[in-house]
Structure 1
């Protein structure tokens, strides 16, 4: 009994030492990021400063992953397997064994066309490379699938629409482009927005959304918002939704900001990059608040339900979480330079 108590006491001491060493290593890493000397007996870094250092380190790692190869964005994607009946003899492309049976012999990835046994599909790595011939639409297509199929960093709709909106903002015309009153709040004509959607689905990156075709900028903003609403998995994914809502409920501002940053790191790379690019754009919108009357809070009201939806299709949950959805987007816009 005495030896067991002594062993437990030693284990506790070892755990404390390990935790202390890990804490010192983390402090040293943060100090390097900030260019500050931190001794063994130094005090903890000021929380906002610590968050900034963490965000810089995380951003550097993500940028390195995104720019590892300028011509190919290595976003991980799972295969979209569906049960398939093959005509004629077929072999599994994973184990190279024959697929027996007359119907439903195996599964096929509807995005890249990989054919494997149903059992083998559980062991196939997340290396799906979607084939453009199989991607029929731009809207309503999974975000990661779309960017991998077109080998782009972000969905083309997001890039093209934001470039068009900001380009119009460069023209010295009052209440035009980024200066348009109620930008993103005012809706464009639904039929014209549907025209833009069909143009992207039909022509892809060659779609013409210039001012000559669509002079009303609200049509472009409406098409961008529609793209986000039509995503089968929102930009802020179902898996991270509850974590973002819980982070929004934290009363302490510094702790809330750090919690939001930690959840951001859980987003799939393509979703993270799309959200980052959008927040940089929305920050530019707020810089023109005196003309467009759109601050971060107003944009949060517009984009909260657009960028994040609860996993369960419940009206009650949606209504209950609306204030937190708005707050999350507001925090992301106001702190985009720190969080991303």
Structure 2
């Protein structure tokens, strides 16, 4: 499982988070304002007057005007990179400057600022994406290797007079028809997962929440139409990356993509939930029969059983039966794997520096207050899941005499997984101290601990 540790690349996400935010310059009195604009519209205004209004404003400030009454277009004037820039702006039921269309003017401004910021600050990464993309090492193949193996063999069998060799366990693990005529003779797998050829059915897609390209592992940046998605198998990619994806569409995999490696907010919105069922079910199982297990979370479970439980969660969802895994370390290992594969860890990149500042304060009372304030800045999905995990780890630490897992030991295990740390940082001593303080002071930070 170690090769999954750093599967997602957060650099583009961090850069996007630094993009200027739209700030409309308000005009309260404009009698000829079109119905499709708000108070950001200033009527007929020359570019010099617009520049005067924006020159002392922060980057991201904007207004909409008309150069003169005879123009068939409007003008967007905004400040970016400390420069005032003017664009021709059109409306025909949607707002647009070039090809991309937007339902609201705010969407257009927000997306435009992100695009310009990425072109300015991330051009080196965007150039490297085209040079450093390996399909066989992509997240799509890495996360779904066993599923791809199984489904590809099944497709080959259905298209060939000579049946492919498929293991009985593979068929049963997917809930496939056990009466199908497969040769079940044991064999060594020969990596067949890129032999099945079918063109992907890619369509431009606007993604809700955060998503990453399954070919290059980089963030799908932007506010709308961030990339493409195969309507048959669900493969997600940048538009440019999709041009280099092999003809390897497996429509059946769409039903088996599961929950691992998906942004937390995106997943919970899709399931209309406040907590991932993987986390809830694993925590409940560990609290039922693992609190007195020596080395819980430190001792590794068997990798093949962790993979089997991961696949069971992907296949069966809430109905997954954890009681069949007698080794509780397998359940603990699966929970750690789920958290490790989140593209954005529970304690996010923008909260990380505030966390480090808080833990360096001198008195514990001030530390607790500042740590609580830091955690309040997390997105709701991250806040709720982290609270659930910290309350669980606090309960585990209360049995340290039996399980030998103190708050310090637990924070040492979980800090690399729960805290989003920039790649340049290799010494996690501050992160460990911060997480230890959060666990030890759980009742004070979260007020009521279960």
TM-score scaled to structure 2, two decimals? Answer: 0.44
Q: Which residue of 2 aligns with 1:285?
A: 396
Q: Check the 8 A contact 1:283/1:334 in 2, yes or no.
A: yes
Aligned residue runs from structure 1 range 109-124, under 5 A:
109-111=206-208, 121=224
Q: Is the 8 A contact 1:309 1:318 kept in 2?
A: no
Picking from 328, 336, 339, the partner of 2:442 is: 336
Corresponding residue number in structure 2 for 1:305: 416
Shift of the alpha carbon at 1:135?
A: 9.4
Deviations 1:3-37 (A, max 9, x none): xxxxxxxxxxxxxxxxxxxxxxxxxxxxxxxxxxx
SS of the aligned residue for 2:205 comes to: strand
Unaligned runs of 5+ in 2: 1-99, 105-202, 210-220, 226-233, 235-253
**Greater strand proportion:** 2
Equivalent position of 1:183 in the other structure:
296
Q: Which has the higher helix share?
A: 1
- State the partner residue of 2:429: 323
Matches within 5 A, 1:188-337: 188-210=301-323, 213-310=324-421, 312-314=422-424, 317-319=425-427, 322-337=428-443
Q: How many residues are aligned here? A: 213
Deviation by residue 1:268-322 (Cα, 9 ceiling, x = unmatched)? 0110010111111111111211111111111111111110131x323xx132xx1
CA offset digits 1:207-240 (Å, max 9, x no partner) = 2221xx2100000000001111100000001111
| Structure possessing the higher radius of gyration over alpha carbons | 2
Q: List structure 1 segments (4+ residues) > 6 angstroms apart after TM superposition.
A: none
Q: CA RMSD in A?
A: 2.9
1:119 to 1:326, Cα distance in 2 relative to 1, 3 A: closer
Q: Relative contact order, CA 8 A, sep 6+: which one is greater?
A: 1
Look up the SS of the partner of 2:381 in the other structure. helix
Task: Give the C-alpha shift of residue 111 in structure 1.
Answer: 4.6
Q: Cα 1:144–1:120, aligned 2, differ >3 Å: closer, same or farther?
A: closer
Q: Quote the Cα distance in structure 2 between the aligned partners of 1:318 and 1:248.
A: 18
User: Can you give the 5+ residue segments of structure 1 that lack an aligned partner in the other structure?
Assistant: 1-90, 96-105, 113-117, 123-130, 169-176
> Matched residues in 2 for 1:326 and 1:291: separation?
22
Structure 2 distance, partners of 1:111, 1:202, is 23
CA contact under 8 A between 1:110 and 1:134: conserved in structure 2? Answer: no
Aligned partners of 1:243 and 1:263 also within 8 Å: yes
The 8 Å contact of residues 107 and 121 in structure 1, kept in 2 or not, is answered as no
- Give 1:17-166 correspondences, 5 Å limit: 94=103, 108-111=205-208, 121=224, 136-166=257-287
Tell me how far 1:263 sits from its aligned partner.
Answer: 0.6
Secondary structure at the aligned position of 2:326 is classed as coil
Aligned 8 A contact 1:285 1:294 in 2? yes
Instruction: Give secondary structure in 2 for the equivalent of 1:318.
Output: coil
Cα gap change, 1:94 to 1:196, in 2 (>3 Å): same
